Amino acid sequence: MKKKILILSGGISKERLISLDTGLQVAKELKKNGYKVKISEPNNNLTKNINKFKPSIIFNALHGQFGEDGYIQTILEQYNIPYTHSGVIASSIAMDKEISKKIFIKNKINTPKFIKYSFNEKNSNLIKLIDKKLKFPVVVKPINEGSSVNVYICTKKNIIKILKLVKSYKQIMIEEFIAGREIQVAIMGNKKLGAIELKPKRKFYDYKAKYNTNAKTQHIIPVELSNNKLNEVMNMAFKAHKQIGCRGVTRSDFKFYKNRFFLLEINTQPGMTKLSLVPEIAAYKGISFINLIEWILKDASTKR
């Protein structure tokens, strides 16, 4: 008899819609293959749903804040039911762009230079600091968001205007802008699964490029890199995955510029939608969507 799977999706983050889509796609595939499935929001009914449904495994399909930053993982460990993807510490580290970057730097994984900015600082000092440490243009991004939510490429002319749009975060990251090619690498446990290149029609691979079917982002697989360069970027992603302590499947986002790779961030719960990259990489490697999901379920654990 196939196991009972409770899928956590939705949530309160700005990536709620993506999470709902991931949850639906995973549920559809599992039901098609004989599993008993229930989808639950991570709300006050979660305990009730778990006690009533009695799942064998919890598939965490949440994205963004509360879903992949260690919070829901802390709650899930109280139930003593195996749950998918990375645990409390790895999830919180990967979601925090400042801490994860410090780990990249410590382990000699090339990443764009950055500064952290608090909104109680003066804007005039910020411009001088950017000129000194980063140079324009720069990338402004929240420290704890995913899916390129509220990420902007800024010039000296528009940065003050952009900062007003992200002021609610209190603290943000300002990162050196790296031009060049967008390369994404998937890691599956101890396996370097593969890579894919993205050519967005937009300025960069932002939220709309990722999830809008009209964005017309071109997906290129296999990636046109030499074997040495492909191995280099795969090894960088694998090293980041291991140093942060991730489990399950992760996707690392790189820029390739002037023959160098720059790791932007690592995602501990990559999307499983029709436009998602990890299922596409897996399919190219001969791993069907259901086999990918079943591997993730098999990798589930009660404690990370």
Q: Write the pLDDT tens digit of every residue in 48-68.
A: 999 999 999 999 999 988 889
User: Would the pLDDT of 17 be above 80?
Assistant: yes
The answer to whether 299 is a known catalytic residue is no
Does the 4-88 domain belong in CATH 3.40.50.720? no
- Angle, helix 227-244 to helix 88-95, in steps of 10 degrees: 120
* Domain ranges in the chain with CATH number 3.40.50.20: 4-88
Taking the CA atoms of residue 111, residue 267, residue 42 and residue 71 in that order, the dihedral angle to the nearest 10 degrees is: -40
The answer to whether 271 is a known catalytic residue is yes
CB proximity list for 160: less than 8 A, separation 6 or greater:
123
* Domain ranges in the chain with CATH number 3.30.1490.20: 114-176
* pLDDT per residue as tens digits for the range 172-194: 889 999 999 999 999 999 999 99
* CATH of region 98-108+179-298: 3.30.470.20
Q: What pLDDT shows up at residue 206?
A: 46
* Domain ranges in the chain with CATH number 3.30.470.20: 98-108+179-298
User: Would the pLDDT of 211 be above 50?
Assistant: no
CA atoms within 13 A on the CB side of 155: 2
The residue from 9, 11, 15, 87 that is catalytic is 15
Window from 141-145, 186-190, 280-284, 287-291 with minimum mean pLDDT: 141-145
- Would you state the structure tokens that stand for residue 44, as one six-digit string? 């006050």
The answer to whether 284 is a known catalytic residue is no
Write the DSSP symbol of residue 84: -
Q: If you count them, how many residues does the chain have?
A: 304
What is the rounded distance in angstroms from the CA atom of residue 54 to the CA atom of residue 290?
22
CATH superfamily of 114-176: ATP-grasp fold, A domain (3.30.1490.20)
What is the rounded distance in angstroms from the CA atom of residue 216 to the CA atom of residue 57?
36
Which position has the higher pLDDT, 233 or 158?
233
The answer to whether 79 is a known catalytic residue is no
The answer to whether 21 is a known catalytic residue is no
Q: What pLDDT shows up at residue 77?
A: 92
- Would you state the structure tokens that stand for residue 152, as one six-digit string? 């902007």
What is the residue-averaged pLDDT of the chain?
A: 89
The answer to whether 251 is a known catalytic residue is yes
Maximum Cα–Cα distance across the chain: 65
Segments in the chain forming alpha helices (H):
16-32, 46-53, 71-76, 88-95, 97-106, 123-133, 159-165, 207-211, 227-244, 277-284, 289-298
Neighbour order of strands in the sheet with 181-188:
218-220, 191-199, 181-188, 249-257, 260-267
